[in-house]
Amino acid sequence: MSMETIGLIPAGGTASRLGRLPCSKEIFPLVDRSGTIRVVSEHLIRCFRIAGIEEVYMIIRKGKWDIPEYYGDGSAFGVNMGYLVVNSTYGTPFTLSQAYPFIKDKLVAMGFPDIIFSPENAFQQLVSKIKSTEAEIVLGIVPFAHPAKADMIEFNEDGSIRDIVIKQNRIDLQYSWGIAVWKPRFTELMKNYTDDCFLKGKDKIEQQVGKSREIYVGDVIMHAIRNGFKTSYVVFKEGYYEDIGTPDELNDYLRKV
């Protein structure tokens, strides 16, 4: 019997970079390239649906009740939507681990609710690859011109992933990941990783003396790679990711529409 695929959406952030908003950033309305007004996270849900993913969990923090008010049970958007509430404010991997009891034996498709990406059938291709290979994680990778703002991929000569370089000005790197599909073993690893961080009171990664940054999903993926997890990817050479999580990026998107 084939493994069920669950769509997973981390929505526990505060959107502090966007300043005061009248709503949660995940339901901020935008005009898309077709001229249709939709809230930003509808794009991700539509892409899940194209891939045949109908069971979706969105993980929110307290106070973001306007998200379930908007989406309800998800039926108006072609999915079955469930909500989980996260208490930790450590970062995205900790938010995702909140879903562990509900996804631990499932195939997981994960995307970010404030990122618009192309092609819209990307998850369909990632799910197909992970089901037809021994990979435990498959990343969706696109060209990206701003390495200081993203998780950039450094490749080995054989095309395997050597490193995920997070928000560094590495202009020699050309590709970034923004969506992923993974098997239960990676869900287990992420849960163990975040539990260990909680036990140690570690919510940051030290970069140099006096400087640190939050822990990202890319850090956990690299932890998995270093521990022998088979990781693959699909390159969408004509694809793109557009993050609307900062004022500059939101303005750039609106100018292109």
Q: pLDDT at position 32, please? A: 72
Q: pLDDT at position 243, please? A: 84
Q: pLDDT at position 1, please? A: 41
For residues 26 and 12, the answer to whether their CB atoms sit within 8 Å is no
Dist CA 204 CA 114 (whole Å): 23
The parent domain of residue 65 ranges over 5-13+21-256
Q: pLDDT at position 16, please? A: 60
Dist CA 181 CA 8 (whole Å): 10
- Structure tokens that stand for 63 in this block: 């106070």
- 223 sits in the region (left: phi over 0; alpha: psi -120 to 50; else beta) called alpha
DSSP 34: T
Dist CA 10 CA 93 (whole Å): 9
Q: pLDDT at position 30, please? A: 85
What is the distance in angstroms between the CA of the first residue and the CA of the last residue of the chain?
A: 43
Q: pLDDT at position 23, please? A: 86
In one-letter notation, the amino acid at residue 134 is E
For residues 131 and 225, the answer to whether their CB atoms sit within 8 Å is no
Residue with tokens 């300043």: 19
**Model-level pTM?**
0.92
pLDDT averaged over 10-residue windows placed end to end, the chain, 257 residues: 87 70 87 82 96 97 94 97 88 95 97 94 97 97 93 96 94 96 98 93 75 91 97 96 73 61
Dist CA 54 CA 75 (whole Å): 10
Query: How many structural domains does the chain have?
Result: 1
For residues 7 and 122, the answer to whether their CB atoms sit within 8 Å is no
In one-letter notation, the amino acid at residue 170 is R
HSE of 92, CA atoms in CB hemisphere, 13 A: 18
- Structure tokens that stand for 43 in this block: 């794009």
Beta strands, E only, 16-78: 29-31, 37-39, 55-61
For residues 12 and 84, the answer to whether their CB atoms sit within 8 Å is no
CATH code at position 102: 3.90.550.10
For residues 216 and 186, the answer to whether their CB atoms sit within 8 Å is no
